[in-house]
């Protein structure tokens, strides 16, 4: 009798929900955190360091019965500008799109300037994206610029 040595992990297809694909592997947990998926009641499947012909390594997150709002999609784009969103209904792909880095970012990133008014008063943060390629932002209030690797999420 011939033994089959091929091993596969079978993950069931989503009936309804969203797949976030092509996330840089080192950003998967950050995406989970900023979307509050770590405290979600929805079924969530994720993978990191998966092989990708396009990126070498990638991450993926599948969220059952969840469709993301524009503000949530903007958060994904800031952390993982290479991500693709795939919306699924009744096991069919309804929409597949590349996320786009927004031109404005409000309320979810903390200004790194300790003297900024947003760090001393209850004023929501407001940034302009000054470089969509490398994802650099500038504070509306103190004009301090921050690179993606220094973002602190609120």
Q: List pLDDT tens digits, range 63-107.
A: 999 999 999 999 999 999 999 999 999 999 999 999 999 999 999
111 CB-near residues (< 8 Å, 6+ apart)? 118, 119, 125, 127, 139, 141, 142, 144, 146
Which residue in the block uniquely carries the two structure tokens 């019965």? Answer: 65
Average pLDDT over the chain reads 91
Quickly state the pLDDT bin for 54 (edges 50, 70, 90).
Answer: confident
The whole-angstrom separation of Cα 153 and Cα 30 is 9
Which of 4-8, 26-30, 146-150 comes out lowest in average pLDDT?
A: 4-8
Hey, what are 63's tokens?
């969220």
């Amino acid at each position: 009798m011939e033994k089959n040595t091929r091993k596969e992990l079978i993950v069931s297809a989503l009936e309804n929900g969203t797949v976030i694909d092509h996330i840089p592997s080192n950003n998967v947990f950050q995406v989970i955190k900023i979307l509050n998926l770590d405290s979600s009641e929805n079924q969530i499947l994720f993978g990191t360091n998966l092989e990708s012909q396009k990126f070498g390594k990638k991450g993926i997150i599948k969220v059952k019965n969840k469709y993301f709002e524009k503000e949530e999609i903007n958060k994904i784009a800031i952390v993982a500008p290479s991500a693709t969103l795939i919306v699924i209904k009744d096991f069919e792909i309804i929409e597949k799109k590349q996320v786009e880095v927004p031109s404005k970012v409000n309320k979810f990133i903390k200004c790194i300037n300790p003297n900024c008014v947003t760090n001393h008063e209850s004023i929501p943060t407001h940034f302009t994206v000054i470089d969509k390629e490398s994802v650099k932002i500038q504070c509306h209030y103190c004009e301090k610029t921050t690179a993606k690797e220094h973002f602190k999420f609120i």
